[in-house]
Chain A
Amino acid sequence: CTKDLDVTTKDDQDLIGEDFFKDETSYKRLLAGVYANLSLTGVDGPESSNIEGLDAGTSQFGRVLLYLQTLSADQMIWSYENDPGTREIQRNIWNADDPVVLGMFGRTHVTIAFANNFLRETTDAKLDERDVSTATRAEIKTFRAEARLLRAMSYYYMMDLFGKANFATEEDPINAIPQAYDRAQLFDFVETELKAIDADLADPLANEHGRASKGVAWMILAKIYLNAEVYIGQPKYTECLDYSKKLIAGGYSLATDYKHNFMADNDVNTAKNEIIFPLISDGTFTKNYGPTTVMINGSVGSIEANGTALGVGAGGWGGALRLRKQFVALFDGGIYNNDRRNGIISGTRSREITDISDKDQGYILEKYSNATSTGSFGADQTFVDTDFPLFRLADVYLMYAEAHLRGGAGGSNTDMESYINSLRSRANNPQNNLTATDITLDFIIDERARELHWEAHRRQDLIRFGRFTGGNYNWVWKGNGSNGISLPAHLKLYPIPSASLASNPNLTQNIGY
């Protein structure tokens, strides 16, 4: 009876492919699996992970993105430097063995693999073979476009952070060694792909919450055009303006209160029309240590123990996150005292952080919250209900202004003024009547910080403004100097993780590492 060696799975959470696809609702679940890799770490609770080589919680997509884009720059300090990788990221002394870098590279490529699998399993031939109904096929058409969108988004982040990626599509078999794409190839792919799927995607705000629409594709296009000089050495501000305008015309509107964007009910309060794409977080159904859970628990002060108002434990995580003084300075001046975006708590604290592990030094920030706009709280005291706003309209307004200032065609001063002032009005800032002469590029970079801090944009913005590497702008602990020192230019890209480099002979290490 050697036939007994042909075993099959027995767990009710596991299905063999052929059984799984017998049920036509499986296609939506499989697509949800691709999305879930951005929001969750694994399928078996907060300690599980689809990738290995680092702590499960730390490997969450939004979390590693936050670390690489925000912690690495001038806005944030993480107190517990014995958490591997955090010290190297926030002091800009990372190397190819950094677990956070590995987390980003690994996590994002798993999204790519999941998307490829979705596309491989939903070809016309497969759907014919499984005799899938016409109604489901119609849905699958949109699903496929979304899978391609998530894949393109993954390549966008690889292009931005690493300048390279393993390039695999649904045509490549499992375990085949992928080719490596450089920045120009990735730019080309992302641009072409996003345009190709446009027709199949749902209109802005027309898709179910948690799924992506055309707005997400436009947002990524606007971003790659805004940064095109960095990526491929060509200015594409006109194109950036085109897509910014499409987004603004797409029906999005600012939340009535800035804070709504960062609250436990930001999926249903007025922020739902501002947030273009959220990373879903829910204390009951999506338990994981993602960016909002980390920032809400982490921002509770060591002295203040102010967690209860934020819907988490009073002590939170004992003061894990604090602010660097350069960011605090952006809110100096009376006009910012009542600015809704100014969540800085100074108390009896010193503004300086001379010792990173001293959690009583440095100001803290109250931005994200597990409280709702109606005064209640999220379901869980650790895992928050607050979605992470990966893309939102306010960013589009600022991109419009910047692309216009940088010479893009098709914009106007009037619109620019109106967008910038609308952000200020919404923030309750008295200085809400700025004119084109006030709105300079220097103003934009600071205003982006005031509006979009702790939202995983900062490193990209500083690089575009030439202030990340080099010594023209130093922040505390930049380059591991307590007052900041110049960074070498190669740090504009993260190193390819050693494990990833070794497992694909086609990949080469970034210059300087």
Chain B
Amino acid sequence: VVKEKATGEPLPGVSVVVKGTTRGSQTDFNGNFTIEKVKTGDVLVFRYLGFADKEVSIGTNFNITVELDESAEQLDEIVVVGYGTTTVKDATGSVESITAKDFTKGNIVTPENLLSGRVAGVNITTDGAPGAGSQIRIRGGSSLDASNDPLIVIDGLPMAGSAGGSRGVLASINPNDIESFSVLKDASATAIYGSRGANGVIIITTKKGRSEYSLDYDFQMGFGEVRNRINVFDGDAFRTLAPQKFPSLAGLLGTANTNWQDEIYQKSVSTQHNLTARGQIFGVIPTRLSIGISSIEGNLLTSNFDRATFSVSMNPSFLDNHLKINLNYNRAFEDNRFADKGQIGAALRYDPTQPVRDSSSPFGGFYQHYTRDANGIIISQGTRNPVAALLQNSDLSNVFRQYGNLKIDYNFHFLPELTATVNAGFDKTSADGTRVNSLNSPASYTDLFIGNDSAYTNEVSNESLDTYLNYVNTFGKLKTDVMAGYSYQTFNGSGTDTGNKRNVNGAVPTTRDDTPVVLIGFLARANLTFNEKYLLTLNYRRDGSSKFGPENRWGNFGGAALAWRMSDEDFLKDSKVISELKLRASYGVNGQQDIDGSDLYLDRYRFGNTDSQYIIGGNPILSTIPGGRSFLRWEKTATVELGVDYGLFDNRITGSVNAFQKNSTDLLSKAPVADGSNFTNRIFQNIGEMKVNGLEFTVNADVIKQEDFNWNASFNATYIDRKIEKLALGQDITKGGISGGTGNFIQLHSEGFAPNSFYVYKQLYNTAGKPIEGAFADLNGDGIINTQDKYLKEDPFADVTFGFQSSIDYKNFDLAFNLRASIGNYLYNNVNSSSAQYDLIQDNAVLGNIPTTVLNTDFQRTSDVILSDIYLENASFLRMDNITLGYTFDRPIKKFASNSIRIWAGMQNVFTITNYSGLDPELANDGIDNNIYPRPRTILVGANIKF
């Protein structure tokens, strides 16, 4: 009989295995179990979710009762931190650990989406393309022109960037292989990653081998559909409108009624299979093997993502556990077909009175506006038929990635308190792609039928070596954990592109070989715990980056954190309400060096491409220019944080509250340099300061906790306020290129405002509330409306974001959903601003459709209104990301001791509540809504089978 220790209640469904064998069983509803052929001396392993594993040696009595301890003592949960682990109890920093049971469910193709909405302060935005990469921001990002991406570390191996041709840096990682995430947010936690920790760290731990044998098979199938459309005129309405606006073009109207948006989207079917086997090979090597096959169809015609992953992990121990080896090796293959997002814009614009196909068309049977010139040569006119543009274009890539690491921990025999670790890893991605545009499609409006045929390759690689010593000992009431080490990383990238081989003027082939980046760090950390109640962590790291010249190369970073486990003090020890209370305070400094350009301090010369040469005496010459030079140093981000971790009512309710402030100084920002003093007019400089203030709140509650009815709910809220304090010479920096005109921008970095604040004209309205075209407020009062009347209004980033998850288990049913909300994020609706004007009904010499929002404004001309604040919209939203319902059959196959089948169904992207008028209020591209790939609503079914 297996019972719960605290209550004495029998535990059903506990797995019981004879150690070192596959033989085992599971307890029934009364906690009873039987295993045959057990002899004295065998060891039984009892395992149950939420409880500590227990091993029991069989003596002579074969009738045993076992009591399992609840390990909902989450406090002893292991938390992975940089270069080591700690426990929830001993953690001094803002570290959140998300394990498989907390993962967001649904149509998860890339790993980061397992985290969506789960962690306060972490925002993940992914567009609708299959396998698409995400923008991940931890606490908003503290850099301006340097990268704001967090560092992602898999099993101790920092990931390289993504290779062109791949969907993204995480696209080739199978989410099914992931055991847990640790999100390091505060400086004391990230400081150990010194050079790369300024924007937070996400540590991914993959699943490992086990000694027991098990086989898991997961299957899921999704049916996706894009339901939203931008309202444009239908064929009949357009036949009325166009001649009113452009009488001379009336003759160009057709008779069809084509909804071009319907034509470019498709319903998609996607499947994912995952097979995982675990067990011990040769009796000593716990091993895990997994294979994942994903086939994800996109909802834009032709778009597709296929992925196969293979992963092996072995983790044997030798010499009485003194030597531990962890080997991980992964291979991933991505097959992509990319669909041009630009065609989403073309579908809005294409004349709705024309058919998709036209048997007489020279363009492969697709309708296309065209004329013939005097010599009878066909010239296509206006926007291209978007269906043809998608179907006639083949943009393929094959990506092969392999990554892995070998980690060896050696626990000294003569000094068991000391452990030496070596972790060597590599990550290498090569992509090759082809872009072929069929011969009966024009490469651009003015070209003849040459189509396009080009091929490219891209390669990125990253190698790393970490070595460190760890000393753990207890001296009376003082527990010490000291670590010192060395870290080395190098990054390489290269690529080739053939250019259009069909170009009559000859292709322009290009090659690229990036200057390598080398990062070296010396690191040390001490964790001191006194009397189990007073915790101190000290970090130090000295980092060198090859991006900086010898004189500025090295930076010193570090941090300190104090924590007080107040609940262990006598005055709280017996509290019925407060079961856990920890106060934390930390301060730390991180470095930042991740900018484009890894050799700006070098005396470089660059000659032109074959199409960028000078001609002397009729002969092209490789004209050569000196490269812009700057002598940079580390950008630094100092973070101060106060936090409380709490647990109430025997930890039925847990959570934390954090308040932090990040101050970035010496911002690496690309800013104007005195003209004539350098070889360009803008260059990276260490000028600027930014401040991020934030508050985070999380609560996790076991609302109902009964034998066969459990309800867990969690909620998080984040407030972030980012402000640029100082810029180079006080100069504003333009940001946010938009479509509609050449070289327009809509955003500004400006002192005293959030980064990427929108920079717009203030629209004037008549007494009836209708906007007056081209009339803007003369904000500086000089009587002239010009660019000096623009003003800064709002920014793309949310002020407050919320996440809410709920999971209910009733008997064998499980139901889970999660909600996210974002408040105060603004979007510039570039779809309307660049196309909702009557003038655009004439598209060069033909007709083009426009959004019906033009009826609200009656605007005529794009150039008059494109920078108006009328196109700036509040895009706050509440969205249900997914909901799933599952049912588990316990041991449906009685032949096997332990097995289960869970079948489930769910929906992804269930609803969105927003006032935003465009397709989707949540976008990755920093607040400009233009040609986004909309996210489908997906219905999912799946099964998890375990042996």
A7 to chain B: closest residue by CB: B546
Q: When A11-B515, A16-B603 are in contact, do A308 and B743 touch as well, CB less than 8 Å?
A: no
Do B680 and A110 touch (CB < 8 A)?
yes
Bound complex: CA A176 to CA B494 (Å): 34
| Interface 0/1 of A93-109, CB less than 8 Å to B | 10101110010011001
Do B742 and A308 touch (CB < 8 A)?
no
A178 in contact (CB, < 8 A): yes
Q: Closest approach, in angstroms, between the C-beta of B264 and any C-beta of chain A?
A: 25
A-B contact pairs, 6 of them (CB 8 A): A5-B550, A35-B614, A45-B609, A46-B611, A52-B670, A109-B675
For B515, list chain A residues within 8 Å (CB): 7-11, 14
Q: Closest approach, in angstroms, between the C-beta of A383 and any C-beta of chain B?
A: 8
Q: Closest approach, in angstroms, between the C-beta of A10 and any C-beta of chain B?
A: 4
Do B611 and A315 touch (CB < 8 A)?
no
A373 in contact (CB, < 8 A): no
Additional pairs, 18, CB under 8 Å, beyond known A10-B513, A30-B605: A7-B516, A8-B515, A11-B514, A20-B624, A32-B623, A33-B626, A43-B623, A43-B625, A176-B677, A178-B675, A211-B617, A287-B612, A305-B379, A379-B505, A500-B674, A502-B729, A502-B731, A503-B672
Bound complex: CA A336 to CA B745 (Å): 45
Number of A interface residues at 8 Å Cβ cutoff, please give it: 112
Do A285 and B845 touch (CB < 8 A)?
no
Q: When A2-B544, A16-B603, A39-B614 are in contact, do A52 and B680 touch as well, CB less than 8 Å?
A: yes
Do B605 and A17 touch (CB < 8 A)?
yes
Do B788 and A1 touch (CB < 8 A)?
no
Do A53 and B672 touch (CB < 8 A)?
yes
Segment among B53-61, B123-131, B368-376, B922-930 that sits at the interface with chain A: B368-376
| Interface 0/1 of A280-299, CB less than 8 Å to B | 10111111100000000000
| Interface 0/1 of B603-641, CB less than 8 Å to A | 111111111111111101111111101110000000000
Bound complex: CA A13 to CA B743 (Å): 27
Do A83 and B616 touch (CB < 8 A)?
no
Do A33 and B371 touch (CB < 8 A)?
no
Bound complex: CA A412 to CA B795 (Å): 68
Do A286 and B615 touch (CB < 8 A)?
yes
User: Which residues of chain A (58-103) have a CB below 8 Å from chain B?
Assistant: 58, 80-85, 87-88, 93, 95, 97-99, 102
| Interface 0/1 of B509-541, CB less than 8 Å to A | 011111111101000000000000000000000
Do A97 and B788 touch (CB < 8 A)?
yes
User: Which residues of chain A (24-47) have a CB below 8 Å from chain B?
Assistant: 26, 28-30, 32-33, 35-37, 39-40, 42-46
Bound complex: CA A4 to CA B673 (Å): 30
Do A7 and B599 touch (CB < 8 A)?
yes
Q: When A43-B612, A109-B676 are in contact, do A11 and B511 touch as well, CB less than 8 Å?
A: yes
Number of B interface residues at 8 Å Cβ cutoff, please give it: 96
Do A5 and B544 touch (CB < 8 A)?
yes
Do B612 and A286 touch (CB < 8 A)?
yes
Do A50 and B615 touch (CB < 8 A)?
no
Q: When A7-B518, A95-B787, A283-B505 are in contact, do A54 and B743 touch as well, CB less than 8 Å?
A: yes
For A315, list chain B residues within 8 Å (CB): 379, 381, 445-446, 844-845
A381 in contact (CB, < 8 A): yes
B318 in contact (CB, < 8 A): no
Do B604 and A16 touch (CB < 8 A)?
yes
Q: When A2-B520, A314-B373, A499-B731 are in contact, do A211 and B625 touch as well, CB less than 8 Å?
A: no
A239 in contact (CB, < 8 A): no
A504 in contact (CB, < 8 A): yes
Across the A-B interface, the 10 shortest Cβ-Cβ residue pairs: A313-B446, A55-B743, A82-B741, A109-B675, A208-B617, A82-B863, A32-B623, A17-B603, A106-B681, A36-B623
Do B742 and A84 touch (CB < 8 A)?
yes
Q: Closest approach, in angstroms, between the C-beta of A335 and any C-beta of chain B?
A: 31
For A498, list chain B residues within 8 Å (CB): 731
Bound complex: CA A5 to CA B728 (Å): 28
Contact of B679 among A5, A80, A110 (CB under 8 A): A110
For B513, list chain A residues within 8 Å (CB): 10-12
Contact of A45 among B505, B514, B611, B861 (CB under 8 A): B611
For A106, list chain B residues within 8 Å (CB): 675, 681
B490 in contact (CB, < 8 A): yes
Give me the interface of B with A, judged by CB distance under 8 Å: 371, 373-375, 377, 379, 381, 445-447, 488, 490, 494, 505-506, 508, 510-518, 520, 544-546, 550, 553, 598-599, 602-618, 620-627, 629-631, 670-682, 728-731, 734, 740-745, 784, 786-788, 839, 844-845, 861-863, 866
Do A4 and B677 touch (CB < 8 A)?
no
Contact of B608 among A36, A83, A382 (CB under 8 A): A36
For A504, list chain B residues within 8 Å (CB): 674-675, 677
Q: Closest approach, in angstroms, between the C-beta of B791 and any C-beta of chain A?
A: 13
A356 to chain B: closest residue by CB: B863
Do B514 and A10 touch (CB < 8 A)?
yes
Q: When A11-B515, A17-B603, A175-B673 are in contact, do A51 and B682 touch as well, CB less than 8 Å?
A: yes
Do B614 and A32 touch (CB < 8 A)?
yes
Q: Closest approach, in angstroms, between the C-beta of B46 and any C-beta of chain A?
A: 50
Q: Closest approach, in angstroms, between the C-beta of B501 and any C-beta of chain A?
A: 15
Segment among A166-174, A250-258, A388-396 that sits at the interface with chain B: A166-174
For A110, list chain B residues within 8 Å (CB): 675-676, 679-681
Q: When A43-B625, A51-B681 are in contact, do A13 and B505 touch as well, CB less than 8 Å?
A: no
Q: Closest approach, in angstroms, between the C-beta of B627 and any C-beta of chain A?
A: 8
Do A83 and B741 touch (CB < 8 A)?
yes
Q: When A12-B511, A13-B609, A88-B786 are in contact, do A280 and B614 touch as well, CB less than 8 Å?
A: yes
Q: Closest approach, in angstroms, between the C-beta of B355 and any C-beta of chain A?
A: 23
Q: Closest approach, in angstroms, between the C-beta of A171 and any C-beta of chain B?
A: 12
Do A172 and B677 touch (CB < 8 A)?
yes
A196 in contact (CB, < 8 A): no
Bound complex: CA A51 to CA B681 (Å): 5
B515 to chain A: closest residue by CB: A9
Contact of B598 among A7, A33, A45 (CB under 8 A): A7
Q: When A11-B511, A37-B625 are in contact, do A82 and B546 touch as well, CB less than 8 Å?
A: no
Q: Closest approach, in angstroms, between the C-beta of B793 and any C-beta of chain A?
A: 18
Do B520 and A5 touch (CB < 8 A)?
yes
Q: When A53-B672, A210-B616 are in contact, do A14 and B605 touch as well, CB less than 8 Å?
A: yes
Contact of B625 among A50, A176, A177 (CB under 8 A): A50
Segment among A112-120, A323-331, A401-409, A447-455 that sits at the interface with chain B: A112-120
Do A14 and B606 touch (CB < 8 A)?
yes
User: Which residues of chain A (270-321) have a CB below 8 Å from chain B?
Assistant: 280, 282-288, 302, 305, 307-309, 312-316, 318
For B681, list chain A residues within 8 Å (CB): 51-53, 102, 106, 109-110, 499-500
Q: Closest approach, in angstroms, between the C-beta of A275 and any C-beta of chain B?
A: 14
Bound complex: CA A209 to CA B619 (Å): 9
Do B620 and A285 touch (CB < 8 A)?
yes
User: Which residues of chain A (108-144) have a CB below 8 Å from chain B?
Assistant: 109-110, 112-114, 116-117
Do B506 and A113 touch (CB < 8 A)?
no
Do A318 and B844 touch (CB < 8 A)?
yes
Chain A CB within 10 Å, residue with most, of B512, B616, B676, B745:
B676
Do A178 and B731 touch (CB < 8 A)?
no
Do A382 and B611 touch (CB < 8 A)?
no
A48 in contact (CB, < 8 A): yes
Bound complex: CA A141 to CA B263 (Å): 66
A199 in contact (CB, < 8 A): no
A308 to chain B: closest residue by CB: B373
Q: Closest approach, in angstroms, between the C-beta of B648 and any C-beta of chain A?
A: 51
For B614, list chain A residues within 8 Å (CB): 32-33, 35-36, 39-40, 210, 280, 286
B630 to chain A: closest residue by CB: A175
Do A15 and B605 touch (CB < 8 A)?
yes
Bound complex: CA A380 to CA B837 (Å): 33
B465 to chain A: closest residue by CB: A1
Do B613 and A500 touch (CB < 8 A)?
no
Q: Closest approach, in angstroms, between the C-beta of B268 and any C-beta of chain A?
A: 34
Contact of B839 among A43, A357, A380 (CB under 8 A): A357
Q: Closest approach, in angstroms, between the C-beta of B672 and any C-beta of chain A?
A: 4
For B631, list chain A residues within 8 Å (CB): 175
